[in-house]
Structure 1
Amino acid sequence: MFCARGYHGVGVDEIAGAVGITGPAIYRHFPNKYAMLVHATRELSDTVRTTVDRALADSDDPRTQLDSVLDALATLSVDQRRVGGLYQWENRYLDAAHRAEFRNELGALVGRVAQLVTALRPELSAPVARLFTRAAFSALASLATHRAPISRSRAADLLRRAGWALLTTDVPVPSSLSSVRPTVPVEPLAGPADPAAGQADGNNRREAVLATAIRLFHLHGYHAVGMEDIGRAAGLHASSLYRYFPSKADLLAAAYHRAADQLSASTTASLGSAASDQDALRGLVESFVDLTFSQRDLVAVYLAENNNLPERDRHELRKIQRLQVDEWVRLLIGVRPELSPSEARVLVHAALNVVTDLGGSTDPAPPDAFRPVVTALALEPMRRA
């Protein structure tokens, strides 16, 4: 229910009703809703770790072990499709300690699989093997980010092959990445915005308010941020915000329209300058990478807060999102006509997830250090899976 409707969109009584008990009875099992979220993320982590452990126990040969890991995780992704989104969306509602626990668990799993990659490909440095492994994990987990219909067996096979494509990729990697140590993501505190923003007039001030709201929505989630928080961070009284946006919901809608407009503009530019479907597809990937890396807060909010949009905007924006994906799918089928539309859609979402996961990360290096590599990595599952 958290994944389908958002953490704040689900009440304790609804959860109790879904499992056939009364609201008060649920507190015999969990002290509050937050405890359920912590338990759910731990359960997801435990399931993934156990799956990897079992796959690694099958053999001592790195290639066989990697094949077993990819096959097991692809199958798990299909089986856990309805709850897998916890890793991407809902863990931001955890407090700092629980968030670190979740990330450390995922980081440890990435490290174990990356060791197999370096054993199989000794020419790779540890940071580069880790980068390829993280990309593979993102592709494998991507099924939880969309609802495109596809058979279970075909989905598992596509995801497994996408993982292999990313682990065996020969995309060029800057030598500077070879000596970089993994870093731990540091989340900035939500302090005041640039003082100049508070002195801006008209459209400039409106832009400053919107940028501040997007940053806070990304850091804390839409429901945890009030107009007072946005005003304080923007250097304005909360009452002044209503000159520019009638409500917090209108701020969120403005953020979505901003992202949709930029994606539409980049799509038009890519299609207009391309000489072939392959050129157009690469152009779409490059423009999406540029947007993701240059406006991480905006893209993160665009991906995570759909359920909180006002009804009047939700349907329109979902249609825009589908049309964007449809364009990628059309081009991919033009490049690889052997793919069915459902297969192409799964691979497109895998590519999108690789970009958004790596674009908001500092592992194995500050994002701009490996930004040029991400375009090539995103193309790999669509090209070879």
Structure 2
Amino acid sequence: MQATSTAQTTPGRRRPRNRKAQIALAAAELFCERGYHGVGIDEIAAVVGISGPAVYRHFPNKYAILLHASRELIDTLVTAADEALAVPEEPAEQMARLLAATARVSVQRRRVGALYQWQARYLEPAHQGEVRAGLTALVRRISDLLLELRPDLPPPSAVLLSRAALSAIGSISTHRAAIADSRAEQILRSAAWTLLTTDLPAAVRHATAGGSEPAGGGSASMRPGSRREALLTEAVRLFDRLGYHAVSIDDIGRAAGINASGVYRYFPGKADLLAAVYYRAAERLSTSTTSALATASSPADALRRLIDAYVDLTFAHNDLVSVYLAENNNLPTPDRHELRRLQREHVEEWVRLLVTIRPELAASEARLLAHAALNLVMDLGRTTSFNRSDGSEQLVRFLALRMLVP
């Protein structure tokens, strides 16, 4: 009893008042690094420096940690925006303050920002709606202020540009490219400002952000012409909709009309099936990139063609690209290293062209912008439900290029 009492009163052993926040932050970083299903309570506890059972003093289960971390991220962004707007200034100054505040949060929370993009799908529908509502509120704050700056702008266009600006700012959580925090904030808020102040061409002005989720299911990723292709097609669809860990070999086989035992004739396991999906996506990306570069007449033309090719691929095969971006932590280690190398090579093509066109940019700055453009394509594609018939695809092309080359 004497030892226990001493341990509880020794300053170095006292439980921190922010222990719950520490647990949530450590968990969020692990979720974003390895995926929600790839992280256990004991691993979270080890990062914080406590025992597994001690976590349960603050959270009843792992799901509660994911929900708390997701809420905290959105609340932090909305609070930062509200504090920026609380300062009585002209709309232009308020917008500059708001973009600076959200960019600062995004950079500071870089390791947990992917929660809203990929890990939030593991939340229950009501909680997913809560996260979407928080993001919608943030978009509304930006778009309302934008309409004060640009009163002639149609409200749907203001919403669209606000979503584009937030996508650019949030893109830093999608990669680990090295750059100083202060410079990252400057580059991101400048990119966001460029998007907010751009004039939309008449040809794409009617394509607006409706705020709904993508219409789902549709992708011409792979046309089943064999049992193997059928398995890949259904795996992509299920991985995209439910996440890798929520899908079993039985689920994939059933969707493809093949017994589970028959699946193993083509793939030794689920991870191998995921790797096959990744190599298919990497092959399509490489082919489209090579074709774009081979027909270009100048660096500027090459960059435009590279953007066009990526937008084409994303809109035509959106579920395949979503899986390609979201599930690489679940690949077998050799495949993960190889495919990450291929992803880096693709980004470096964008960087090479961008620094040629804009020599004032350092490679690290061009890399940050390249990732922002790639993220914008996916985010706005989801917002417009990857609709190719209403001008959405053309609009996304325009905004990606406009952000890279103002």
- TM-score, structure 2 length as denominator? 0.88
Contact 2:281 2:321 in 1 (8 A): yes
- Which residue is 2:285 aligned to? 263
- Which residue is 1:361 aligned to? 383
Tell me the amino acid that sits aligned with residue 213 of structure 2. Answer: P
- Which residue is 1:333 aligned to? 355
Tell which has more relative contact order, 1 or 2 (C-alpha 8 A, sep 6+).
1
Tell me the amino acid that sits aligned with residue 81 of structure 2. Answer: V
1:23–1:253: structure 2 CA closer, same or farther, 3 Å change rule? same
1:382–1:119: structure 2 CA closer, same or farther, 3 Å change rule? same
- Which residue is 2:67 aligned to? 38
Does 1:104 find its partner at 2:133? yes
Give 1 or 2 for the bigger CA radius of gyration.
Answer: 2
- Which residue is 2:268 aligned to? 246
Task: Say which of 80, 85, 97 aligns to 1:68.
Answer: 97
- Which residue is 2:8 aligned to? none
Task: Say which of 204, 212, 222 aligns to 1:184.
Answer: 212
Residue 360 of structure 1 and its aligned partner are, at CA, apart by: 1.9
Residue 285 of structure 1 and its aligned partner are, at CA, apart by: 0.5
Contact 2:296 2:302 in 1 (8 A): yes
- Which residue is 1:225 aligned to? 247
- Which residue is 2:45 aligned to? 16
Task: Say which of 128, 132, 140 aligns to 2:157.
Answer: 128
1:17–1:214: structure 2 CA closer, same or farther, 3 Å change rule? same
Tell me the amino acid that sits aligned with residue 306 of structure 1. Answer: N
Does 1:167 find its partner at 2:196? yes
Task: Say which of 117, 141, 144 aligns to 2:146.
Answer: 117
Residue 65 of structure 1 and its aligned partner are, at CA, apart by: 1.4
Residue 25 of structure 1 and its aligned partner are, at CA, apart by: 1.5
1:173–1:10: structure 2 CA closer, same or farther, 3 Å change rule? farther
1:229–1:143: structure 2 CA closer, same or farther, 3 Å change rule? same
d(CA) in 1 for partners of 2:387, 2:128: 20
d(CA) in 1 for partners of 2:354, 2:232: 35
- Which residue is 1:47 aligned to? 76
d(CA) in 2 for partners of 1:222, 1:187: 20
Does 1:383 find its partner at 2:405? yes
Contact 1:359 1:367 in 2 (8 A): no
- Which residue is 1:57 aligned to? 86
Contact 2:159 2:209 in 1 (8 A): no
- Which residue is 2:118 aligned to? 89
CA deviations over 1:21-44 (Å, ceiling 9, x no partner): 211121111111111000000000
Give the secondary-structure state (helix, strand or coil) at the position aligned to 2:95.
Answer: helix
Give the secondary-structure state (helix, strand or coil) at the position aligned to 1:177.
Answer: coil
Contact 2:211 2:383 in 1 (8 A): no
CA deviations over 1:50-108 (Å, ceiling 9, x no partner): 00000111125221111111111111111111111111121111121111110111012
Contact 2:157 2:205 in 1 (8 A): no
d(CA) in 2 for partners of 1:240, 1:246: 11
- Which residue is 2:9 aligned to? none
- Could you tell which deviates more after superposition, 282-291 or 116-125? 116-125
1:337–1:175: structure 2 CA closer, same or farther, 3 Å change rule? closer
Structure 1 runs not aligned, ≥5 long: none
Residue 368 of structure 1 and its aligned partner are, at CA, apart by: 4.6
- Which residue is 2:3 aligned to? none
Give the secondary-structure state (helix, strand or coil) at the position aligned to 2:206.
Answer: helix
- Which residue is 2:395 aligned to? 373
d(CA) in 2 for partners of 1:371, 1:311: 35
Contact 2:217 2:237 in 1 (8 A): no
Alignment of 1:237-316 (within 5 A): 237-316=259-338
- TM-score, structure 1 length as denominator? 0.92
Structure 2 runs not aligned, ≥5 long: 1-29
1:209–1:348: structure 2 CA closer, same or farther, 3 Å change rule? same
1:5–1:368: structure 2 CA closer, same or farther, 3 Å change rule? farther
Give the secondary-structure state (helix, strand or coil) at the position aligned to 1:355.
Answer: helix
Which 4+ runs in 1 deviate beyond 6 A? none
- Could you tell which deviates more after superposition, 34-43 or 165-174? 165-174
Tell me the amino acid that sits aligned with residue 185 of structure 1. Answer: E
Give the secondary-structure state (helix, strand or coil) at the position aligned to 2:291.
Answer: helix
1:368–1:306: structure 2 CA closer, same or farther, 3 Å change rule? farther
- Could you tell which deviates more after superposition, 209-218 or 234-243? 234-243
Contact 1:3 1:83 in 2 (8 A): yes
d(CA) in 1 for partners of 2:57, 2:203: 54
- Give the total of aligned pairs: 373
Q: CA RMSD in A?
A: 2.0
Give the secondary-structure state (helix, strand or coil) at the position aligned to 2:329.
Answer: helix
Identical aligned pairs, as a percentage? Answer: 56
